[in-house]
Copies of this chain bind each other. A is one copy, B any other.
């Protein structure tokens, strides 16, 4: 169960009461304690209940971040990093109160090194901001988690999304970080070389640490050349297994698909209804290729042959941007199409990831579970990674609805773990998945706790997230 992990932690009332006026004095209007600010900074796009911070600091530069950390450290007050609030597992909640550090004003693009395909940004830059800025350089930053998240948040959550199959996740695309640690010092984890064997990989330790080890103050990212040509297409398969086998063969043959997304029957039905489309209501792959005229043509032909081998309908394919948008419309509108199945219900977006050989089995068992319990719960998968999302629609006002949803999550995660998978491919642990992480990596938890204790001995950075100390 997930909600049970959203419990209030101990509050250091005295420390908080002492720190707030000092923060006010230091930051003036950039420190806010009004209810609406506090609510806004605990609200995540999740079914988990909110836990409000005691105040919000809008930082504008590293020195601000250092001062927040030092003041909070002096009074033992929790510090919670906030990007855009698009995390899904309660990452920005404040179970022990404390100070939300809003990075939205720390949004400068510090440098772009076009020849080296890298750039350095402040954590408040969003991925859309960055790509808008980069447009004239012929470069882009590929990771696309759907939401227009901040790059700080994406780094902290080890985010990925539809094109991770081609470009990797944040783990693969962050070259270096600067981070303010518990003593208020700023450290640099690496420089701009594309590879290094110099010491412990602190970059990767902070990527995915969900704000529990320090506050990221700058991020050096790998960039990619904007593809000269993008091709996209769609085809329906007779069965889920056939679709997944086509994915496995595509990956195994090394066809460098940029995106390969699986929509299940219920998702297609929802999309047809919502966007007035008429796709066959069968498991369907949405595919995209990035390259030149020649390579995109080659790749799409290779994929079409593979799809045909597994009994797919003819592969509808185009290199025209408008036609591609039309073909991909169902995928782009998947979330809202799903919500429209039952607008009165709440939506719970969850993700698991399994080895791709188990994807068909894991999705099929999950569909059977959904049918058996009468849920509305469409499935969309980043099939090339074995990662899939269930958007579970449920009545969050009804305790029975909540407990049925939680029991479903428990079964879903148990299923993924039993298949050598993970309880989260890209959403992170936050509060919602603490109990599943405990099942998944029980033997490693003492090591994680030990690292946390050594870098944040007073448990001030985002307490109550990932695991309980």
Binding site for B on A (CB under 8 A): 113-118, 157-160, 164, 168-169, 171-172, 181, 185-202, 204-205, 207-209, 213, 224-225, 227, 248, 251-254, 256, 291-292, 294-295, 298, 302, 353-357, 385-387, 417, 420-429, 433, 436-437, 440-441, 443-448, 450-451, 453-455, 466-467
Contacts and interface: CB of A to CB of B under 8 A. Distances in A.
Given A224-B254, A298-B294, A191 B424 contact: no
Contacts of A207: 201
A358 to B, nearest CB: 8
A112 B386 CA distance: 18
A188 B440 CA distance: 9
Nearest to A160: B195
Given A186-B443, A188-B441, A117 B251 contact: yes
Contacts of A295: 295, 298
A420 to B, nearest CB: 4
A396 to B, nearest CB: 24
A457 B5 CA distance: 32
Name the residue in A252, A426, A447 with the highest tally of chain B Cβ atoms < 10 Å from its Cβ: A447
B256 A353 contact: no
A111 to B, nearest CB: 10
Contacts of A113: 355, 357
- For the complex of A and B, the 8 pairs showing the least CB-CB separation, nearest first, are A204-B204, A454-B454, A115-B357, A196-B422, A193-B353, A116-B355, A192-B420, A187-B443
A436 to B, nearest CB: 8
